[in-house]
Amino acid sequence: MPDKGCQRESKPSAGRMEGCVAVVTGGSRGIGLGIARRFHELGARVVLCARNADNAMAAAHALDPSGETALGAGVHVSDEDAARTLLADARGRWGALDVLVNSAAVNPHFGPTRSVDHGRWQKIMEVNLWAPLRWTQLALEEGLGATRPGSVLMVSSNLADTPGSPSGVYGMSKAALNYLTAQLAVELGPRVRVNGIAPGVVNTRFAAPLVAFGEKVYGRWPVPRFGEPEDVAAAAEFLATEASSWVTGQVLTVDGGALLGGDEFSALEVS
C-alpha cells in the first residue's frame, strides 16, 4: 500500500487534511485566503504569504489566534531569499511540506495588449509565471514529495482560453502557466502531483474592474453570477487531497460555465 502522507480520506470531512502542511502565496485575501481557510478547516496547518506582512498576519490570526496552526508572512513572491527562508521555516516548525498553492498574481495592465509597456509586461510574467516555477523549485528543495506524496496547485484563469479580454497579457501569462502545470506534472510524478484551477471572474478586489460591469459579464453564463473564493477553494480541496490521487497535469475550470457562452467580454467597451 503506497504512503498517502497527509491525504487520508476519500470523502469530504473535517480532518481530511489532518497532518498536512500547506503554503499559500497570495494568501491574505481573495482566492488565496479562501483556499487557506478551507485547508485549515480540514485540519491542515497553513502558512499565508502576502507582500503586506500586516495583512498576512491578520488573515492568519483570524484562522488561529494562537498561531499554532496558521501563520502569516510578509513575503513578496519575487524575493527568492525570503521564499526559501519561509519554506524552510514551515518545514522546520511542522516537520513537513505537503502542499504548495501558487495563488499570488498581478495584473497592472487593463486594456488592449497593443498598449502594454515593457515594465508591466515584465512584472506580469515575473509574478504570474516565473514565481510559481521558482517557488515550486524551492519547495522541492525543502522536501516536497521526498518522504510522502506532495501536491502543487497553480491558480490560473479561464482568460488563458479567452482571447479578446481587456486583460490579454494576464491571460497570456496564465496560458503559459497551464503549460507549466502539465510540464511539471510529467517531471515531478509520481511523488508530486501538479494541477491547476482556472477560475472565471471571482468577486474579489483583484477582479474589481470586471466585477464592476456586473450582469454585462455574467448575464449569459449558465450559472449567472460571479464566483466567490469558496467556489475555488472547493476545487482546491479536491485537487490537493487523496480524492484526486489519480489526477495530475490538469487544469480545472471553475467559472460558472462562462466559456460555454463564447466571448464573455464582447459586451464590454474598454479603450
For 222-241, the pLDDT digits (tens) are 999 999 999 999 999 999 99
Predicted local distance difference test score (pLDDT) of residue 39: 98
Grade residue 165 by pLDDT with cuts at 50, 70 and 90.
confident
Grade residue 208 by pLDDT with cuts at 50, 70 and 90.
confident
Which of 167, 177, 128 is closest to 265 using CA atoms?
167
- The single residue listed with the C-alpha cell 512584472 is 123
Provide mean pLDDT across the span 48-62: 98
Task: Report whether 140 contacts 188 (CB < 8 A).
Answer: yes
Residue 170 annotated among the catalytic residues of the structure: yes
Catalytic residue among 39, 94, 170, 206: 170
Predicted local distance difference test score (pLDDT) of residue 170: 96
The amino acid that residue 271 corresponds to is S
Which of 172, 186, 155, 138 is closest to 30 using CA atoms?
155
Q: Percent of the chain at pLDDT above 90?
A: 83
Which of 205, 133, 228 is closest to 173 using CA atoms?
133
Higher pLDDT, 161 or 98: 98
Provide mean pLDDT across the span 255-269: 71
Provide mean pLDDT across the span 51-61: 98
What's the pLDDT tens digit per position in 123-145?
999 999 999 999 999 999 999 99
pTM, rounded to two decimals = 0.92
Predicted local distance difference test score (pLDDT) of residue 15: 64
What's the pLDDT tens digit per position in 170-198?
999 999 999 999 999 999 999 999 999 99
Provide mean pLDDT across the span 116-129: 98
